[in-house]
Structure 1
Protein backbone atom coordinates (compact mmCIF):
# COMPACT_ATOMS: atom_id res chain seq x y z
CA UNK A 1 0.00 0.00 0.00
CA UNK A 2 1.35 3.40 -0.98
CA UNK A 3 0.22 6.57 0.77
CA UNK A 4 0.51 9.99 -0.89
CA UNK A 5 -0.30 12.95 1.32
CA UNK A 6 -1.39 16.48 0.54
CA UNK A 7 -1.36 19.34 3.00
CA UNK A 8 -2.86 22.68 1.97
CA UNK A 9 -2.67 25.85 4.03
CA UNK A 10 -4.27 29.26 3.50
CA UNK A 11 -2.43 31.78 5.68
CA UNK A 12 -5.11 34.46 5.38
CA UNK A 13 -7.65 32.28 7.19
CA UNK A 14 -5.19 29.98 8.98
CA UNK A 15 -6.97 27.03 7.35
CA UNK A 16 -5.05 23.77 6.98
CA UNK A 17 -6.36 20.64 5.28
CA UNK A 18 -4.48 17.34 5.17
CA UNK A 19 -5.57 14.17 3.36
CA UNK A 20 -3.98 10.93 2.18
CA UNK A 21 -4.66 9.08 -1.07
CA UNK A 22 -4.02 5.32 -0.90
CA UNK A 23 -2.92 3.14 -3.78
CA UNK A 24 -2.83 -0.63 -3.49
CA UNK A 25 -0.28 -2.36 -5.69
CA UNK A 26 -0.14 -6.11 -6.16
CA UNK A 27 3.20 -7.26 -7.54
CA UNK A 28 3.35 -10.27 -9.81
CA UNK A 29 5.96 -12.92 -9.10
CA UNK A 30 9.17 -11.69 -10.73
CA UNK A 31 12.42 -13.56 -10.89
CA UNK A 32 15.52 -12.03 -9.37
CA UNK A 33 17.08 -11.88 -12.85
CA UNK A 34 14.06 -9.98 -14.21
CA UNK A 35 14.17 -7.52 -11.32
CA UNK A 36 17.91 -6.96 -11.73
CA UNK A 37 17.45 -6.38 -15.47
CA UNK A 38 14.63 -3.92 -14.75
CA UNK A 39 16.70 -1.96 -12.24
CA UNK A 40 19.68 -1.90 -14.62
CA UNK A 41 17.57 -0.67 -17.55
CA UNK A 42 15.27 1.86 -15.85
CA UNK A 43 17.41 2.98 -12.87
CA UNK A 44 14.41 3.49 -10.53
CA UNK A 45 16.32 3.48 -7.24
CA UNK A 46 15.55 7.14 -6.51
CA UNK A 47 11.78 6.53 -6.79
CA UNK A 48 9.37 5.53 -4.05
CA UNK A 49 9.24 1.74 -4.09
CA UNK A 50 12.13 1.66 -6.58
CA UNK A 51 9.87 1.35 -9.59
CA UNK A 52 8.48 3.68 -12.22
CA UNK A 53 4.87 2.75 -12.91
CA UNK A 54 4.82 5.32 -15.73
CA UNK A 55 7.54 3.30 -17.46
CA UNK A 56 8.51 -0.36 -17.62
CA UNK A 57 7.80 -0.70 -13.90
CA UNK A 58 4.10 -1.20 -14.58
CA UNK A 59 5.07 -4.63 -15.95
CA UNK A 60 6.11 -5.63 -12.42
CA UNK A 61 2.49 -5.43 -11.25
CA UNK A 62 -0.44 -7.76 -11.36
CA UNK A 63 -2.90 -5.12 -10.25
CA UNK A 64 -3.15 -1.46 -9.19
CA UNK A 65 -6.14 -0.18 -7.23
CA UNK A 66 -6.46 3.57 -6.91
CA UNK A 67 -8.96 6.35 -7.39
CA UNK A 68 -6.28 8.40 -9.14
CA UNK A 69 -3.40 6.84 -11.11
CA UNK A 70 -1.40 10.07 -10.64
CA UNK A 71 -1.05 9.24 -6.94
CA UNK A 72 1.46 6.49 -7.53
CA UNK A 73 3.82 8.67 -9.58
CA UNK A 74 3.44 11.96 -7.78
CA UNK A 75 0.71 14.46 -7.07
CA UNK A 76 -2.79 13.02 -6.52
CA UNK A 77 -4.48 15.57 -8.77
CA UNK A 78 -8.04 14.36 -8.14
CA UNK A 79 -7.62 14.69 -4.38
CA UNK A 80 -6.00 18.11 -4.81
CA UNK A 81 -8.92 19.21 -6.97
CA UNK A 82 -11.44 17.98 -4.39
CA UNK A 83 -9.67 19.66 -1.47
CA UNK A 84 -9.25 22.98 -3.26
CA UNK A 85 -12.89 23.03 -4.35
CA UNK A 86 -14.32 21.92 -1.00
CA UNK A 87 -12.17 23.91 1.40
CA UNK A 88 -10.86 26.88 -0.60
CA UNK A 89 -13.47 27.46 -3.34
CA UNK A 90 -10.87 26.97 -6.07
CA UNK A 91 -11.82 25.38 -9.42
CA UNK A 92 -8.69 23.90 -11.00
CA UNK A 93 -10.40 23.05 -14.29
CA UNK A 94 -11.64 26.61 -14.71
CA UNK A 95 -8.15 27.93 -13.91
CA UNK A 96 -6.51 25.54 -16.37
CA UNK A 97 -9.00 26.37 -19.12
CA UNK A 98 -8.22 30.08 -19.00
Structure 2
Protein backbone atom coordinates (compact mmCIF):
# COMPACT_ATOMS: atom_id res chain seq x y z
CA UNK A 1 0.00 0.00 0.00
CA UNK A 2 1.44 3.44 -0.92
CA UNK A 3 2.35 5.81 1.86
CA UNK A 4 -0.41 8.21 2.86
CA UNK A 5 0.59 11.83 2.14
CA UNK A 6 1.04 13.98 5.20
CA UNK A 7 -1.55 16.72 5.87
CA UNK A 8 0.93 19.32 4.63
CA UNK A 9 1.20 17.51 1.28
CA UNK A 10 -2.54 17.25 0.72
CA UNK A 11 -4.32 20.18 -0.96
CA UNK A 12 -6.79 21.64 1.53
CA UNK A 13 -9.57 24.16 1.60
CA UNK A 14 -7.85 26.25 4.24
CA UNK A 15 -8.42 29.99 3.83
CA UNK A 16 -5.49 32.03 2.60
CA UNK A 17 -4.63 35.29 4.36
CA UNK A 18 -2.13 37.96 3.39
CA UNK A 19 -0.79 39.43 6.61
CA UNK A 20 -0.41 42.90 5.16
CA UNK A 21 -2.45 45.91 4.13
CA UNK A 22 0.14 46.95 1.52
CA UNK A 23 -1.62 47.63 -1.76
CA UNK A 24 1.53 46.53 -3.61
CA UNK A 25 1.55 43.08 -1.99
CA UNK A 26 -2.22 42.80 -2.42
CA UNK A 27 -1.92 43.48 -6.15
CA UNK A 28 0.93 40.99 -6.53
CA UNK A 29 -0.84 38.16 -4.70
CA UNK A 30 -3.98 38.84 -6.76
CA UNK A 31 -2.03 37.73 -9.85
CA UNK A 32 -2.30 34.12 -8.67
CA UNK A 33 -6.09 34.15 -8.95
CA UNK A 34 -6.55 32.72 -5.46
CA UNK A 35 -9.23 33.89 -3.02
CA UNK A 36 -7.59 35.56 -0.04
CA UNK A 37 -8.21 38.06 2.71
CA UNK A 38 -5.84 40.85 3.73
CA UNK A 39 -5.41 41.32 7.49
CA UNK A 40 -3.22 43.97 9.12
CA UNK A 41 -0.55 42.53 11.45
CA UNK A 42 0.18 44.34 14.70
CA UNK A 43 3.98 44.13 14.80
CA UNK A 44 6.65 46.54 16.06
CA UNK A 45 9.04 47.00 13.12
CA UNK A 46 11.83 48.65 15.11
CA UNK A 47 15.22 47.04 14.29
CA UNK A 48 16.98 45.28 17.13
CA UNK A 49 20.49 46.43 18.11
CA UNK A 50 23.06 45.09 15.64
CA UNK A 51 20.40 43.44 13.48
CA UNK A 52 21.42 43.11 9.83
CA UNK A 53 18.95 44.09 7.08
CA UNK A 54 18.38 40.50 5.92
CA UNK A 55 17.85 39.34 9.51
CA UNK A 56 15.40 42.19 10.12
CA UNK A 57 13.39 41.36 7.00
CA UNK A 58 13.17 37.66 7.89
CA UNK A 59 12.25 38.32 11.52
CA UNK A 60 9.51 40.77 10.60
CA UNK A 61 8.06 38.54 7.85
CA UNK A 62 7.72 35.67 10.34
CA UNK A 63 6.43 37.95 13.10
CA UNK A 64 3.74 39.38 10.82
CA UNK A 65 2.64 35.92 9.65
CA UNK A 66 2.44 34.48 13.17
CA UNK A 67 0.69 37.51 14.65
CA UNK A 68 -2.14 37.09 12.13
CA UNK A 69 -2.07 33.27 12.34
CA UNK A 70 -2.73 33.37 16.09
CA UNK A 71 -5.97 35.21 15.35
CA UNK A 72 -6.82 32.95 12.39
CA UNK A 73 -5.38 29.53 13.34
CA UNK A 74 -7.06 27.55 10.56
CA UNK A 75 -5.69 29.79 7.80
CA UNK A 76 -2.50 29.67 5.79
CA UNK A 77 -0.97 33.09 6.39
CA UNK A 78 1.59 34.95 4.30
CA UNK A 79 3.83 37.55 5.91
CA UNK A 80 6.39 39.66 4.09
CA UNK A 81 8.81 42.47 4.74
CA UNK A 82 11.31 44.47 2.72
CA UNK A 83 14.39 46.33 3.95
CA UNK A 84 16.79 48.31 1.78
CA UNK A 85 20.38 47.34 2.59
CA UNK A 86 22.95 50.08 2.02
CA UNK A 87 26.34 48.58 2.86
CA UNK A 88 24.84 46.69 5.79
CA UNK A 89 22.67 49.55 7.07
CA UNK A 90 18.90 49.01 7.00
CA UNK A 91 16.80 51.67 5.28
CA UNK A 92 13.05 51.40 5.76
CA UNK A 93 10.08 53.43 4.55
CA UNK A 94 10.94 57.15 4.65
CA UNK A 95 7.46 58.28 5.69
CA UNK A 96 7.91 61.85 4.48
CA UNK A 97 9.58 63.98 1.81
CA UNK A 98 12.57 65.11 3.86
CA UNK A 99 13.59 61.55 4.78
CA UNK A 100 13.04 60.36 1.22
CA UNK A 101 15.38 63.06 -0.11
CA UNK A 102 18.03 62.02 2.40
CA UNK A 103 17.69 58.34 1.44
CA UNK A 104 17.98 58.93 -2.30
CA UNK A 105 20.96 61.26 -1.86
CA UNK A 106 22.75 58.51 0.05
CA UNK A 107 21.85 55.84 -2.52
CA UNK A 108 22.71 57.72 -5.71
CA UNK A 109 25.53 56.01 -7.57
CA UNK A 110 25.44 53.17 -5.04
CA UNK A 111 24.53 49.48 -5.15
CA UNK A 112 21.66 48.74 -2.77
CA UNK A 113 20.34 45.28 -1.92
CA UNK A 114 16.60 45.16 -1.28
CA UNK A 115 16.11 42.28 1.15
CA UNK A 116 12.59 40.95 0.62
CA UNK A 117 11.48 38.16 2.93
CA UNK A 118 8.34 36.01 2.74
CA UNK A 119 7.03 33.68 5.43
CA UNK A 120 4.12 31.24 5.32
CA UNK A 121 2.65 29.73 8.48
CA UNK A 122 -0.41 27.80 9.66
CA UNK A 123 -1.07 27.63 13.39
CA UNK A 124 -3.41 24.63 13.11
CA UNK A 125 -0.80 22.40 11.44
CA UNK A 126 2.33 23.97 12.87
CA UNK A 127 3.62 24.69 9.37
CA UNK A 128 6.29 27.38 9.12
CA UNK A 129 8.59 28.23 6.24
CA UNK A 130 10.37 31.38 5.14
CA UNK A 131 12.71 32.51 2.39
CA UNK A 132 14.64 35.59 1.37
CA UNK A 133 14.78 37.12 -2.11
CA UNK A 134 17.62 39.67 -2.28
CA UNK A 135 17.56 42.09 -5.20
CA UNK A 136 20.72 44.06 -6.04
CA UNK A 137 19.94 47.47 -7.52
CA UNK A 138 22.40 50.01 -8.91
CA UNK A 139 21.12 53.57 -8.63
CA UNK A 140 22.09 56.20 -11.18
CA UNK A 141 24.17 59.16 -9.99
CA UNK A 142 21.07 61.27 -9.47
CA UNK A 143 21.13 65.05 -9.28
CA UNK A 144 19.27 66.87 -6.51
CA UNK A 145 16.89 68.20 -9.16
CA UNK A 146 16.10 64.67 -10.39
CA UNK A 147 15.48 63.49 -6.84
CA UNK A 148 13.12 66.38 -6.11
CA UNK A 149 11.26 65.98 -9.41
CA UNK A 150 10.82 62.26 -8.86
CA UNK A 151 9.60 62.56 -5.27
CA UNK A 152 7.15 65.35 -6.09
CA UNK A 153 5.74 63.25 -8.94
CA UNK A 154 5.45 59.82 -7.32
CA UNK A 155 5.60 60.48 -3.56
CA UNK A 156 6.90 56.97 -2.69
CA UNK A 157 7.00 57.64 1.04
CA UNK A 158 5.56 54.21 1.91
CA UNK A 159 8.27 52.32 -0.01
CA UNK A 160 11.52 51.03 1.47
CA UNK A 161 14.32 52.95 -0.19
CA UNK A 162 12.01 55.71 -1.52
CA UNK A 163 11.66 54.26 -5.03
CA UNK A 164 8.84 52.44 -6.83
CA UNK A 165 10.47 50.23 -9.44
CA UNK A 166 7.03 49.37 -10.86
CA UNK A 167 6.43 53.06 -11.54
CA UNK A 168 8.56 56.10 -12.38
CA UNK A 169 11.20 54.87 -9.92
CA UNK A 170 12.56 52.59 -12.64
CA UNK A 171 14.08 55.74 -14.20
CA UNK A 172 16.31 56.14 -11.13
CA UNK A 173 18.03 52.83 -11.73
CA UNK A 174 20.99 51.71 -13.80
CA UNK A 175 20.63 47.96 -13.26
CA UNK A 176 18.59 45.31 -11.42
CA UNK A 177 19.96 41.84 -10.59
CA UNK A 178 17.63 39.21 -9.12
CA UNK A 179 15.98 35.84 -9.76
CA UNK A 180 12.39 36.81 -8.89
CA UNK A 181 11.07 39.85 -10.79
CA UNK A 182 8.29 40.54 -8.27
CA UNK A 183 10.58 40.66 -5.24
CA UNK A 184 11.56 44.30 -5.69
CA UNK A 185 7.90 45.35 -5.65
CA UNK A 186 7.42 43.73 -2.25
CA UNK A 187 6.34 40.07 -2.51
CA UNK A 188 8.52 37.45 -4.26
CA UNK A 189 5.83 35.41 -6.00
CA UNK A 190 8.08 32.55 -7.13
CA UNK A 191 9.07 31.83 -3.54
CA UNK A 192 5.55 32.54 -2.28
CA UNK A 193 4.07 29.97 -4.64
CA UNK A 194 6.55 27.34 -3.49
CA UNK A 195 5.84 27.99 0.19
CA UNK A 196 2.04 28.03 -0.05
CA UNK A 197 2.05 24.87 -2.20
CA UNK A 198 3.99 23.15 0.58
CA UNK A 199 1.34 24.40 3.02
CA UNK A 200 -1.43 22.74 1.00
CA UNK A 201 -2.63 25.54 -1.30
CA UNK A 202 -3.09 24.58 -4.96
CA UNK A 203 -1.14 26.85 -7.32
CA UNK A 204 -2.20 27.03 -10.09
Q: Give the alignment's TM-score, normalised by structure 1.
A: 0.85
**Could you say which structure has the larger radius of gyration?**
2
| SS across alignment from 1:2 | strand
Q: Answer yes or no: is 1:90 the counterpart of 2:204.
A: no
- CA drift of 1:37 comes to 0.8
Q: Answer yes or no: is 1:60 the counterpart of 2:184.
A: no
Using CA pairs under 8 Å that are at least 6 residues apart, name the structure with larger relative contact order, 1 or 2: 1
Unpaired runs of 5+ residues, structure 1, are 94-98
Cross-structure match for 1:22: 134
Q: Give the alignment's TM-score, normalised by structure 2.
A: 0.43
| SS across alignment from 1:92 | coil
| SS across alignment from 2:166 | coil
Higher fraction of helix: 1
Cross-structure match for 2:182: 70
| SS across alignment from 1:83 | helix
Unpaired runs of 5+ residues, structure 2, are 1-112
| SS across alignment from 2:117 | strand
Taking the aligned partners of 1:42 and 1:21, their CA distance within structure 2 comes to 25
Cross-structure match for 1:34: 146
- Give CA deviations for 1:25-84 in whole Å, capped at 9, x if unaligned: 111111111111111111112211111111110010010111122111121111101122
